[in-house]
Amino acid sequence: MSDKESLPESVTSLLKTTRFIHLATSFKDVPHVSLMNYTYYHTENNDYIIISTPKDTTKYNNILQNPNVSILIHDWISVKNGSTEAESVSTKRRNSLYELLANLNKNEISRVSVMLDGKANVIDETNESYDFYKSLHLNNSKIDEIQSKNYIESNDNAIILITIKACKVTDTENNIAEY
């Protein structure tokens, strides 16, 4: 998106404060979605998402074949009343990841969903900007140190810069705004 058509402040604020996005890639009409840690980066002319991924993944191979990607991000707010089916199910299961997700679903609902269309570019390790993007992503990382080393600093991983091309915001009343 050019500076004239910049993202609304509500979207950039969301991108600056949330931790994960859902990244959709596709190749030969086969979609693939991944939950990703990311870094939002803005310049005078463009908005970007920086991610890192191992080179032996479906998403990486899809991006090499088809750089068009879609990103979904949510604005989470607390539920004021009621319980959910997840609450009763969580008492039956004690898997910590399951409990985390069940509690997330029990305590929060989505007020706004933001869908971003973008063009992904794998940054070549010899490119002078590679260290800059890697450093931005590492410094912004909110994941623990072990994951940072595994997903950002590993030599087997790629740094990918996604240029945001379009934005669609949908709220809980099905109002849609496109940018």
Q: Where are the domains of the chain?
A: 3-77+109-178
Comparing CA positions, the residue from 142, 173, 170, 165 lying closest to residue 75 is 170
> Residue 54: what pLDDT?
94
> Residue 127: what pLDDT?
95
Report how many helices (DSSP H) and strands (DSSP E) the chain contains, helices first: 6, 8
- In CATH, the architecture of 3-77+109-178 is Roll (2.30)
Q: What angle do CA 145, 148, 150 make, to 5 degrees?
A: 110
Tell me the pLDDT band of 19, cut-offs 50, 70 and 90: confident
C-alpha 154/C-alpha 159 separation (Å) is: 10
Amino acid letter, 106: K
pLDDT (mean) for 79-87: 44
Residue 32 neighbours by CB under 8 Å, 6+ apart: 24, 25, 26, 58, 59, 62
pLDDT above 90 for 107: no
C-alpha 98/C-alpha 126 separation (Å) is: 41
Full-prediction pTM beyond 0.85? no
- Give the Cβ contact number of residue 9 at 10 Å: 8
Condensed to tens digits (0 to 9), the pLDDT of residues 110-157 reads 578 899 999 999 999 999 999 999 999 988 875 556 666 667 878 789
pLDDT (mean) for 26-32: 97
Of 16-25, 82-91, 149-158, 168-177, the least confident: 82-91
pLDDT (mean) for 13-41: 94
Q: What angle do CA 179, 31, 64 make, to 5 degrees?
A: 85
The four Cα atoms 133, 54, 104, 108 give a dihedral, to 10 degrees, of 40
Comparing CA positions, the residue from 62, 76, 96, 80 lying closest to residue 19 is 76
